[in-house]
Structure 1
Amino acid sequence: MKALLRFVKLGVIVAISGIYATPAFAEPQFPQELSKMIELKNADALLENATFVDQSGAIIALNSLKGQVVLVNLWATWCVPCVKEMPELDRLAAQMADRPMRVLALSQDRGGADDVSEFFEKNRIDHLEVLLDPRGATARTMGARGLPTSFVIDANGNLIGKLEGIAKWDAPNVVAYFNSLIDQAS
């Protein structure tokens, strides 16, 4: 009888394990290069008041970009890790130029568009737009605790991931990940 009870317990454990191994319970498949990405659930309210400013001073609501996959990167010219990953973000933006994806590098610099433009020119950043987060309002709205911090938003406008720190944004697996998000929306 005890042996039968052990087999029943083992069967229950295997059944429960099978349930939790199904896609509904699976963690999102972030590529290895984004292994520090934290999945965000029910975080869409963070996007309600998130805005950024373009080089001309126009205010743009982040949630107005629905229909595109969006990578928001909060950075500053004085932030050493931020500066390190800028060329990779630029290459990602170049690779995604003909796809429904935006790479938004929102500068936290107090010097504004002039500082960012000068930095981009000096460092040959050619595929990123000069975008600003005046007074860090979007950083606070989205819960950023430091720089760089990046957020991934799917084409439906859902905030799906947050990464604090740097990543290899132009790695083939990362590009494939963003392409899969784009394909899911099609």
Structure 2
Amino acid sequence: MTNQTTYESKKKSPIKAGVSAKKRSKSSTDGLSAKQQILKFAADTYCKGGTSLDRDKLVVLTKLAGKTVMNNLSKLKKEGLIEYSDSKTICLTEAGVEYMGDQCKILTPEEIRAELMEGLKGKPLRLFDLLKDGKTYLKDDVAKELDFEGKRQKGFQNLVGKLKSAGMCQYPDKDHISLTDLWLVK
């Protein structure tokens, strides 16, 4: 009886035996394969005048596993569509730019600004309005003007961080903020 009980307890339950973990899909919700996503983000960087894209940032942008990104980068390099600028960054080759076609059109600063302006609303738009004269302002004064005082200071940092990443504003020094040259209307 003891042997029978031991044997029975080692069997997998019928519910667990039929259930298997599904592998994460290699494509994003918009239906692009991992290689297509990598090329899309590399093309986006190229369009904005960038020459290279950090591999770690690519993992974050694509939301794919690091190993998946690295394996696909290797394939894209063998196909001649990308190259490694250095040990941590990639860039599109001429063949990669040609392969991506219209997605690799380098935008003029005015086109980039117009594209980004379409998405501005709320506090980001108010921040732009405050800084559009091209002057440098104290961060604390701008935060106060946007109703980010006291405990809400973290919200201001988050807002500026996103807009800084988009190339809209900069910190000339630790206490000041201004628009980048790209956003200054000439």
If the TM-score is normalised by the length of the shorter chain, which range does it land in?
under 0.3
Which one has the bigger helix percentage? 2
Which one has the bigger strand percentage? 1
Q: What TM-score do you get using the length of structure 1 for normalisation?
A: 0.24
Higher relative contact order (CA 8 A, sep 6+): 1
Q: Which has the larger radius of gyration?
A: 2
